[in-house]
Structure 1
């Protein structure tokens, strides 16, 4: 069984219902379990539950800037711009798809360099997803050893790991003391300042070539600052730009990388499913040089397997907290303004009312009786409503192109002498696989990674 922690436990919902309150110190938090309760809050009452409460730690780290930690007018304006700009930069278009195909080929090339020996794929995958966001934001391709590239990865890893620690909880209880005390929290602030400094440096570089047509996120944002100069309620400024860039890295690297890592582990664990995916890829794609995103329509089983990875791994687990911005009724309960809401996304992805075998890896959850791909309304790995992940489409493209490219190129199996892989998660902000090694053996020479 693949478990996702105490809040995903069906026993809590069975005992207390699909809506219940837990107390963190003196703060009540309303937990929503199961698809119907989560849907009613995040979709039917999306506007009412669009707030984002900030603890002292996140207030001190990020402030109410950017997209993830902002509210009200700032959040609406920044989020709308992010969605529009990501579309303009190529979501669903050939230019971005080519970048993703190249990154998938580069990842396969790095795997190939392991020469079939046991290795932990996590580092390689994280570097790939980070380079993709970097190219969108800065407009250039990072080299793996560039200082900022390593700094942003370290900052994300440290930050996600710190979120679940006692230190972070103590900071939120005694912020007035922890702001001056030494400890791991100070390292988080140092990394954050280093990343902010690099983004600020990139902004200056972009200003020096302002005459060029905008081709990346920073260029587009700087152009928007100029356009909105006479708007008295504009929130477009360099402080928000820096935080939005950081938000894009936070939201677009670890979750995608962790999901792809789980995909490889599940397919090592389920060899027959891996072989069936590879058979479908071979039959449908033949000797085509690259995988295209539109190929997913002809690859129902591959697509179903990838969806099942997202469902069962549930890397975001309980979802980001929300706050009720106006008093409302929800699921038969009166919810006062200011109430903190925790949508248990894992309980949706494991809801037995919508999944035949919720705790088993079963691609059939996304296939009809004729083997065609079948969507399921309870599939909400990116959350839902007004706060749904703005990078959802990018993540879908990344996952499919990288997954299909890797499975087409390699056969993944256990290292010699290993009995099995651990399927228990490690909680580090997201639900990550345990550090463990696998082997990637080249399948056919005609599918060898392209030389650069």
Structure 2
């Protein structure tokens, strides 16, 4: 009769969960949450959301429920925002209420609520203010950053020349270049491309983005409440321990040669602040926040820019007519010898439009980093409770048909007016918007303009396969859209 006892226990658990979910739904209905598909006990909207295709599933639900709706990840209610207007109303018009951050379960082992990227409240405000100050003091958005980028681009250019027009995979050339720019701020130095430790760091970052974008990570993010009860499951979640050890070693090295009168990098500036607040028991300037903030800078400063550049190169090979127009503009405005600078952007509307269009179309973080409501708030006639998870789908903003003439096609004319002049667009939000906008936005904009213009000033980009056969399908599409690997030939101009 043991099986009967097991069956009764299972039924009790299911009924209890059903009562719990029903009670929770009634509470939320009283709170006037936006409508959405009816969740099932325990599994929520499992039938409507394919874990391997979370974004596609949410886009399908938008067709039925509109731009604002509620879904359940297991037993957790999630507010989904689609399109420019809804996301703007939340992240801009109600910036404070939607400024919270909740960490997706697959990333909890890595960040644990520390650091500038995934913290909340006073911790986040202090660390963000401090980080912005430090980044600006080391030249973010200034002439010194421009010179650093111009210098760094020369290293992949030299590697490209060595290929003698033979096809090669540009993935790690771009990753190393972007890595060195943020490393010069975080660690006060650039690394030689052949440095084994540096190569390991670049590989770690690439692996992190790949791991958290897999179908398994998406499945875990939705059903972690139950999966964590299965022995060994938690150990399968990538926790970036190897990157943390790398950062920890760099911090210890800085401590050994630290001089508070001559800060060399972000680490030194943080150590100075730690010393200033050593007698403050509630200080946020502690070692854990330093390690995770450095990790935030590295992750945000390496692969997102590298992904955009890699995918942009692929798009330019797919659409050679766009590449040709950029070449013509570079030749006319800059010429073959002078190194491009950010001041050239104003005279290069087509190139500027192309770069914006690459960012829009590549859609690097399609579902945004999850937000959280910081206090009970009214939104579009609904009552959104404090602590509710929010997914502002950036993909729906960047492809909003009411904001872009060619929302689903790669076309720089999305950023050009009828006279061929560059035009801004409020729906251009690849760095998110509101209070949680990317820390390094100005640095990233500068990097992308200089990388694209300097590379295209020197080379014509060709694929070993005909343009019509180039496959733009992402390698992974989850937390991030990861570009496919491909072969590139560069022809000196």
TM-score normalized by the length of structure 1: 0.91
How far has the Cα of 1:344 moved from its partner?
0.6
- Residues 1:15 and 2:67 aligned together: no
Task: Give matches, 1:29-108, under 5 Å.
Answer: 29-108=78-157
Residues 261-276 of structure 1 correspond to what in structure 2 (within 5 A)?
Answer: 261-276=310-325
Larger relative contact order (Cα-Cα within 8 Å, sequence gap ≥ 6)? 1
More displaced, 283-292 or 297-306?
283-292
Q: Please name the residue that 1:208 is paired with.
A: 256
- Identify the range of structure 1 (418-427 vs 260-269) with the bigger mean alpha-carbon deviation: 418-427
Deviations 1:151-187 (A, max 9, x none): 32232222222223454444823565567568643xx
Q: Say whether 1:199 aligns with 2:255.
A: no
Tell me whether 1:281 sits opposite 2:298 in the alignment.
no
Could you say if the C-alpha distance between residues 296 and 258 of structure 1 is closer, same or farther in structure 2, counting changes exceeding 3 Å?
A: same
The whole-number CA distance in structure 1 between the counterparts of 2:97 and 2:453 is 39
Alignment of 1:67-216 (within 5 A): 67-165=116-214, 167-168=216-217, 169-170=219-220, 172-174=224-226, 176-177=228-229, 180=232, 184-185=236-237, 188-189=238-239, 192-211=240-259, 213-216=262-265
1:237 corresponds, among 286, 296, 300, to 286
Aligned: 1:433 with 2:478: no
Describe the shift of the 1:419–1:374 C-alpha distance in structure 2 as closer, same or farther (beyond 3 A): closer
Higher Rg of the two aligned structures: 2
Conserved 8 A contact 1:305-1:363: yes
1:278 Cα deviation from its structure 2 partner = 0.5
TM-aligned CA distance change 1:372 to 1:63, over 3 Å: same
User: What is the deviation of 1:403?
Assistant: 0.6
Distance 2:132 2:160 in 1: 33
Q: 1:182 to 1:146 in 2, by over 3 A?
A: farther
Aligned residue number for residue 302 of structure 2: 253
Matched, 1:442 2:492: yes
The 5 Å alignment of 1:321-360 reads 321-360=370-409
Are the structure 2 counterparts of residues 297 and 170 from structure 1 closer, same or farther at C-alpha, using a change threshold of 3 Å?
closer
TM-score, structure 2 as length reference = 0.84
Distance 2:273 2:235 in 1: 39
SS in 2 for 1:67: helix
Q: Answer whether contact 1:4 1:346 (CA < 8 A) is retained.
A: no
Asked if structure 2 preserves the Cα contact closer than 8 Å seen for 1:4 and 1:431, the reply is: no
The CA deviation string for residues 6-42 of structure 1, in whole angstroms up to 9 with x for no partner, is 1574x53232111012222111211100100000111
4+ aligned runs moved over 6 Å, structure 1 = none
Paired residue secondary structure (1:441): strand
Deviations 1:396-450 (A, max 9, x none): 011110010111111111215775211122225321222221211111xxxxxxx
Q: Is contact 2:318–2:468 with CA below 8 Å preserved after alignment? A: no
Equivalents in 1 of 2:305, 2:83: separation in Å?
A: 24
Displacement of 1:273 after TM fit? Answer: 1.0
Does the 8 A contact of 1:151 with 1:195 survive in 2? no
In structure 1, list runs of 5 or more residues that go unmatched. 444-452
**CA deviation string 1:302-321 (max 9, x = no partner):** 00100011111111111111
Counterpart check, 1:304 vs 2:343: no
2:460 to 390, 393, 411: 411
Deviations 1:51-78 (A, max 9, x none): 1223444333321110222111111111
Structure 2 counterpart of 1:446? none
C-alpha distance in structure 1 between counterparts of 2:230 and 2:256, whole Å: 40
Change (3 A) 1:325 1:334: same
SS of equivalent to 2:469: coil
> How many corresponding residue pairs?
436
- Measure how far apart 1:287 and its partner are: 4.0
